[in-house]
A and B are shown apart, each in its own frame.
Chain A
Amino acid sequence: MNLGAQQTNSPDVFAAILASKMKPGALTAMKSKQSYLQYRDDPVGFCENILGETLTDDVVKMMESVRDNLVTVAVSSNATGKSHGGARVAVWFYQCHEDCKVFTAAAPPYSNLKNILWGEIGSVVAKHPDMFSSHVVTALDIRRGPEDFLTGVSIPSSGTDKEREAKFSGKHQKNMLFVLDEGDAIPDDVYAGIESCMSGGHVRLLIFLNPRQAAGAVFRMQRDNTAHVVHLSALRHPNVVTGKDVIPGAVTRETTVRRINEWTRPLNPDEKIEKESVFTVPYFLVGATAPRQNGGFYDPLPARKRKIINPAFSYMVLGQYPAQGTNQLISSEWISRARARYDIYVLEHGEVPPVGTSGIMGQDCAEMGDDLNVAVGRYGGYLTSFTTWGGVDTIETGSRAIDWYNSHARITSANVDATGIGAGVAPHMQLAGCVAMGVKVAQKPTIKTDMGDFRLLRDQLLWSVREWLRTDPSAMLPPNEELLEELAVPTYDTDSGKIEVMKKPDMKEVLKRSPNHLDALAMTFAGGGTFFSDCMYSDEVADA
């Protein structure tokens, strides 16, 4: 830089001359940038000293985890400041790292991202305009340069899994952070895309969720210890602990006490229940009371254990996954037992069906869109590996099903989902010499249980899967993540006087996909209860 003929030996003079040549505000930005960079390893200090925020202990732990761990999952109860903290983490990472990309996203609908997460980021921008004075700030985007930004990425609720994965893949930079709000409702494909971006550089992933259901990619991260988990519990929030409005807008003691009264009940001393369903009233809430929603006050809380009677208490107050309810269709214990049996069996015999057993093929046919066809064979208690395919028409599906049928030894019959698009598959298989039966799950059930009638054949088939896992000591489950997840989702009720299993749209809502593997398995139980279901279909009769 040419500073003219002036004397520049003195550093102070040099600085003064340099400052006079710079654009207005640029020096302030440079100075503040220098000061922000010192918080590169201190997100809490940045939030407290620079942003002037008050953080709860749980949020502090979450911020430190983002600094220290590649993947952080923040399992949170309601109104404990997860989106508030997430927005501050995003701003800290953006301001305190050079050459960085920060991607924020939230589960659909788009308003989750725009109003909640970016509402919090917007409040930081509004409160600290100087911090962003030299940045280009637009809706859902703040940037210092083309490769240096904090941005919001929408997650399409439609489109194929490949399209969703592609939206989050191919992103690389020296420093990179992904912040995902309502992470349990984000499709698995998004995580697959992000995983592909985490190959190099200083990359961090922060996921927030309310733990409503023990299923999905984020649950698997926690279960498999591939993420550092931080819990944000209402019972540790300063508002609840102190009973004062320390952080306005966050969860209050009154709300918490009301939920304790409404969603839990005193535990009977002789009652034996799972520890996940028991809640101990913390010392600071003993004697606390709260107004009832219909007027009056609840009695002061006694110091004793209580039973959680509404799963919402687990995820909205405790910030933990609900224990399996009494109306869970398939217990996690039965699943674990069947999984263990499979591993032991395979260790001894390999992945081959037991000698002397014959198999029944079950096939779930894909509906329109990115749904998949799934085929499986059940030889008594043994399940073959699941075969999936998609994107083909009914004829091709039928042809592949015929190949599957013929390529598996001792398959004696096939039960094919004949609802909707799959209606033509079973007849196609029959023409090829397969013993195939179309099963319409919306039809009347064919059997009853001691507990009562089933509403539909679908309820009967899923119930058969339950009874198989519950009562058959040879029932084995292969290590198929999708199947294990799908087995753990459905609940049932008998409110209508008939046994009714959780509806498929509700299961899709939880899983973010169709429960194809479970449906295929359930198909292997079809045909039961008809007059000839227990019969032998031998081609030759042995001489007596």
Chain B
Amino acid sequence: MPKIRKVTHEYAWELRQARLDEAAITKQPLVERPYWYEDTDTGKCFYDLYGGLAWPTEVTDKDDGRPGYVAIVGIVKGQRKPQDAAFHLCAEAESKDIPTLLQHMLDLRSSWGFGLTPGFLQTWFGDPERFIMTTALLNERLMQAGGDKQAILIAPPDDFYSTKAFDHYVRSMHSVVVPGKVRFGFGGNEVLKNRLREFKRDDPAVMAVGGLVHSLLSRTMWMDQSRSNCFNLQEG
């Protein structure tokens, strides 16, 4: 049973249209959605929730590798302006074992409202090119049992293919936990805190959440574009 429910404004269409109009007049590029999600346990509201994944690091003769990591981050709907909303680490899990890590991922998305809206928590940010076979086999099973929409989709975070990807991600992560500008709550989860304090290069936890935060900061994905299609033409 998911702990998340979707809340839609009573006059959702009208509200959205009004916001779009206001954005057009004020030339704002982004508008708030007329729906959001509520954590039924805590009452905390989120504009949206996103999943991040990082695979375990390589095993060598000198190092048994760091465990893979999955996490769900919510964009908190509070008193802040929507575009400056805080991030909240809702849940996290780690494992050195790929099937176990994927199972953690399935458990997390299921308890945090997977499927409440089309595509909600279906696409996770992570490296889509590792462990393809294991993921494909799992997806085959999931789709046989529940249809195409049950498949796990993994998409690369922004700048993932840059050689400086980790550098970008840690800087983005740092920018939301730096004193005076704190924008990231750990929600009582300790794994990421420990990993940040230890701070080792290419740490999966830092990579997963850092990549997610970097993408969120780059694209403000929890808000809609005020001019979202090519038919929105300039007047005059």
Which residues of A approach B to under 8 Å, CB–CB?
413, 430, 433-438, 527, 530-544
Contact = CB atoms under 8 A, between A and B. Distances in A.
Given A531-B199, A533-B197, A535-B179, A540 B190 contact: no
26 contacts: A413-B197, A430-B190, A430-B191, A430-B194, A435-B190, A435-B193, A436-B194, A437-B194, A530-B198, A532-B174, A534-B179, A535-B174, A535-B178, A536-B177, A536-B178, A536-B179, A537-B196, A539-B186, A539-B187, A541-B86, A541-B88, A541-B183, A541-B184, A541-B185, A543-B86, A544-B79
Most chain B CB within 10 A, of A430, A437, A534, A535, is at A535
A541 B213 CA distance: 15
Contact of A538 (B79, B81, B185, B191): B185
B174 A538 contact: no
A533 B185 CA distance: 16
Interface string B111-139: 00000000000000000000000000000
A535 B185 contact: no
Given A436-B194, A437-B197, A532-B196, A540 B187 contact: yes
Interface string B155-189: 00000000000000010011001110011111110
Nearest to B188: A539
Most chain A CB within 10 A, of B174, B182, B185, B197, is at B197
Most chain A CB within 10 A, of B177, B188, B191, is at B177
Contacts of B187: 539-540
A492 B76 CA distance: 51
B80 interface: yes
A413 B190 CA distance: 10
A540 B170 CA distance: 20
Contacts of B79: 543-544
B199 A537 contact: no
A536 B193 CA distance: 10
Contacts of B188: 539
A527 B197 contact: yes
Contacts of B84: 544
A277 to B, nearest CB: 43
Given A536-B178, A539-B186, A544-B80, 4 more contacts: A435-B197, A438-B198, A531-B174, A537-B196
A414 to B, nearest CB: 10
Nearest to A533: B197
A532 B199 contact: yes
Interface string B189-228: 0110110111100000000000000000000000000000
Contact of B190 (A434, A530, A534): A434
Contacts of B182: 536, 538, 541-542
B186 to A, nearest CB: 5
A539 B87 CA distance: 11
Most chain B CB within 10 A, of A413, A433, A434, A539, is at A539
A433 B87 CA distance: 21
B78 interface: yes
Contact of B186 (A437, A537, A544): A537
B212 to A, nearest CB: 16
A437 B191 CA distance: 11
Interface in B79-112: 79-81, 84, 86-88
Given A540-B185, A541-B183, A535 B78 contact: no
Contacts of B199: 530-533
A36 B186 CA distance: 82
B197 A530 contact: yes
Most chain A CB within 10 A, of B80, B186, B187, is at B186
Contacts of A413: 193, 197
Contacts of B177: 532, 535-537
Nearest to A439: B198
A543 B78 contact: yes
Nearest to A532: B196
A463 B188 CA distance: 33
Given A430-B190, A539-B188, A540-B185, A532 B86 contact: no
